[in-house]
Copies of this chain bind each other. A is one copy, B any other.
Amino acid sequence: MVDLFGRDLITTQDWTVDELEEAIRVAERYRQIGRAGREFPEVLKNKNFFMVFFAPSTRTRGAFEAGATLLGGHAVYVDVSTTRIRAGEAVKDVAAMYDIYAHGIGVRLLDKAIDYKKGEGNAVIREFARVCRKPVINMADDMFHPTQAIGDIITVRRHLRKLQGKKFAIMWAYSSRLRGPCSIHADLLIATRFGMDVVVAHPPGFDLDDQVLEWARQNARDSGGSFEVVHDFREALRDAHVVFPRSWATKELQEVGASKFGVEREIEIHNRYRDWMLTQELVDDLMAPGAIVTHVLPVFRGEEATDEVMDGPNSVIYEQAEDNLYAKMAVMALTMNGDPGV
């Protein structure tokens, strides 16, 4: 019997496959209720989910806030600039406060907020988790984005039916702007848990985090899937059933920070790989029949991928966004109330 009441969710690696399956089950039930226009169980009735945002957000904030309301609760939007956190107050004191007021706490801390330095946001979130007895949910940091991962695997499984033996291409894609790797880590970590054959393609210099790569390999061994890194995106796309085209910063930039590394220098490196853009032609020519194109959004249209492919017949990006709403609702219900009511 799976019981997730009071549990943190920092990365999907923290949860067993059974626990992830329970979140998926609940999310699918919520989706049925939502699509049928029926009333959701009020499992968060008059409960507060505090969302602490160190970085901007459209989807994650919107999905958590809407989802809390749908379940009868309230998500409190806290922009960190309206608090004393950046005026000398200790993180542990702030965390202790929210632990008193809230039934669950979400934290988002990535990208500019930490100068794109790998691990810094995650360390703050782990400090929240250390202090708080209430569940702490990672709403995206410089390393992980677990509720995104759960939503994404739901969409992918709905389309592929069976995940075992299916190929998931995670493709570095060109952009003229900076991006952290959390969504990439999120999807490769969860896809390897569920037995998929995951192939990451990126140009030299864009290597992913060592710990994440090690986990991915271990996950694949445990699940009967496979994990591989290549430097040719065509190779990754060949016969793939899923693709996720997205930019991320070089490993060196993530290690020293964007200010020290230099944004212009980084973009110059990106500019060498302008052809790393997903097009409908690539999908049609290389991928398996009925393959799906995913993206966690926002997508940089005309850089990471063309409008044609994002709005085309293989794209499932808006379905993914919908599944993300229900995944977040499931995580809140399971960790903040235990009983999800479905």
> A74-130: which residues lie under 8 A (CB-CB) from chain B?
74, 76-79, 81-85, 87-90, 93-94, 96-98, 100-102
Q: How many angstroms between the C-alpha atoms of A250 and B71 in the bound complex?
A: 49
For the side of the interface on A, what is the size category?
35 or more
Known: A82-B79, A85-B58. Is A322-B63 also a contact (CB below 8 A)? no
B42 touches A70 (CB 8 A): no
Given contacts A53-B82, A59-B97, contact A66 B102 (CB under 8 A): yes
A301 to B94, CA, bound (A): 13
Nearest residue (CB) in B for A47 is: B69
Smallest distance from the beta carbon of A26 to chain B beta carbons, Å?
17
Contact B83 A57 (CB under 8 A): yes
Q: Given contacts A48-B70, A53-B82, A66-B101, are A89 and B298 in contact (CB under 8 A)?
A: yes
Report if A61 contacts B (CB, 8 A): yes
- State how many angstroms separate the Cβ of A239 from the closest Cβ of chain B: 29
Q: Is the CB of B101 within 8 A of A325?
A: yes
> Is A194 interfacial (CB-CB < 8 Å)?
no
* Interface mask (A163-191 → B, CB under 8 Å = 1, otherwise 0): 00000000000000100000000000000
Show the binding face of A for B, using Cβ within 8 Å: 39-40, 42, 45-48, 50, 53, 56-59, 61-63, 65-67, 69-74, 76-79, 81-85, 87-90, 93-94, 96-98, 100-102, 177, 297-301, 317-318, 321-322, 325
Q: Can you name 15 extra interface pairs (CB under 8 A) apart from A56-B87, A57-B84, A58-B85?
A: A39-B46, A46-B69, A50-B66, A57-B83, A58-B97, A62-B78, A66-B76, A69-B76, A79-B82, A84-B298, A87-B177, A88-B300, A89-B297, A90-B298, A100-B325
